[in-house]
Amino acid sequence: MKRILLNNIPLELPPEIARLVEGSAIYDSSCSPEARVYFIDRDGGYYLKTALGGSLEREAQMTAYFHSLGLGTEVLYYSKGERDLLLTARMRGEDCTHAIYLDDPKRLCDTLAEQLRRLHETAPIGCPMPNRTAEYIAMVEENYRTGNYDKSQFPDSFGYRSAEDAIRVFDEAKSLLKCDTLLHGDYCLPNVMLDNWAFSGFIDLGNGGIGDRHIDLFWGAWTLWFNLKTDRYRDRFFDAYGRDKIDESMLRVIAAAEVFG
């Protein structure tokens, strides 16, 4: 996880956070244009995430929920306003894009699969996002209507010739999507934290909730292809997860959905 040393955080902060920042080393640890993430190097470390008002509410709720299950970090502060602020405690270790993990791709692949199976076997009692499947379908349909279509980030094996080709495949099978599994929602290497290969927890949970397991499975295979620059670990990932719970035809349906962002 990259960190760029800063002089300060360019925001007006509430007293609870300002006290942590004062006298601490501050780093920019952002990895997307939608949000800024700051690492506060104090008392073991904190992460402060800020984004457009209301956009971090789901992440705050799901992070707190995952923490209650022993699968995520603690939410220490959340405020909703013109800019949302989400403060969490640092988790032990590094995310799975660290060299120590990328340098052992077979073990990394197996670990990623095993932790996903563990997550999917967790009973989602009290989950604050009880129907991600309905939201997922609505998002795909809306993005198709508005022309949000981009297959460039996917391997050729998941690609579609056109938006019409993709939406046809999705429409024919969307009724088969289940809503029975606790999902991460963005299951990629940067969002899984390990401490010398021991599982620490999941981060960036804003797309989590109860939905169809094949969404996480699709992204698990995708992140290995993207970060390892090869698709050779795809079958190994599915084998390690357990083929008994995978319908590969549904992965093509998820691919059709994901080209719509």
Cα four-point dihedral sign 221, 224, 227, 229: negative
Q: Closest Cα to residue 100, out of 193, 196, 189, 187?
A: 196
Q: Is the pLDDT of residue 4 over 60?
A: yes
What pLDDT is attached to residue 158? 62
Is residue 5 predicted with pLDDT exceeding 60?
yes
E strand or H helix at 6: strand 4-6
* Spatial contact of 119 and 71, defined as CB atoms under 8 Å apart: yes
**Domain count along the chain:** 2
Residue 199, pLDDT > 80, answer yes
List the beta bridge partners of residue 94: 194
The mean pLDDT value for 121-128 works out to 98
My answer on whether 139 and 230 are in the same domain is yes
* Final residue belonging to a domain, choices 55, 89, 123: 89
Give this prediction's pTM: 0.94
User: Phi and psi for 83 in degrees, rounded to 5?
Assistant: -125, 125
Q: Averaged over 95-116, what is the pLDDT?
A: 98
For position 156, what pLDDT does the model report?
59
Q: Residue 178 — very low, low, confident or very high, per pLDDT cuts 50/70/90?
A: very high
Position 173 confidence tier, pLDDT thresholds 50, 70, 90 = very high
> Considering 51, 73, 89, which residue would you say is the last residue of a domain?
89
* 249 Cβ contact partners less than 8 Å away, ≥ 6 residues apart: 173
Distance from C-alpha of 25 to C-alpha of 7, rounded to nearest angstrom = 8
85 shares its domain with 100: no
User: Mean pLDDT across the stretch 24-40?
Assistant: 90
Indicate whether 11 and 125 sit together in one domain: no
Are 58 and 118 within one domain? no
Which of 42, 64, 89 corresponds to the end of one domain? 89
Q: What is the CATH number of the domain that holds 174?
A: 3.90.1200.10
Any idea what the Cα angle at residue 192 is, between residues 89 and 104, rounded to 5°?
A: 130
State percent of the chain over pLDDT 90: 87
Residue 31 or residue 177, greater confidence? 177
Beta bridge partners of 25: 41
pLDDT on residue 1: 62
- Mean pLDDT over 12-24 rounds to 93
Section 72-95 average pLDDT: 96
- β-partners of residue 5 are 27
- Catalytic residues, by residue number, are 186
Region 85-89 average pLDDT: 98
pLDDT of 175: 98
User: Helix 213-228 and helix 105-120: axis angle, to 10°?
Assistant: 170
| Same domain flag for 74 and 106 | no
Asked if residue 177 has pLDDT above 90, the reply is yes
Q: CA-CA distances (angstroms) from residue 232 to 96, 224, 235? A: 18, 9, 7
Give the mean pLDDT of 78-82: 93
Q: What mean pLDDT is predicted for residues 73-98?
A: 96
Whether residue 133 is predicted with pLDDT greater than 80 in this model: the reply is: yes
* Structural domain containing residue 157: 94-258
Helix (H) or strand (E) holding 86: strand 83-89
The pLDDT tens digits of the residues spanning 145-154 come to 999 988 777 7
For residues 63-71, give the mean pLDDT: 98
> 52-58 long-range CB contacts below 8 Å, 24 or more apart?
52/83, 52/84, 53/80, 53/81, 53/82, 53/83, 53/84, 54/80, 54/84, 55/84, 55/206, 56/80, 56/84, 56/85, 56/86, 56/206, 57/84, 58/129, 58/206, 58/207
pLDDT bracket for residue 39 (50, 70, 90): very high
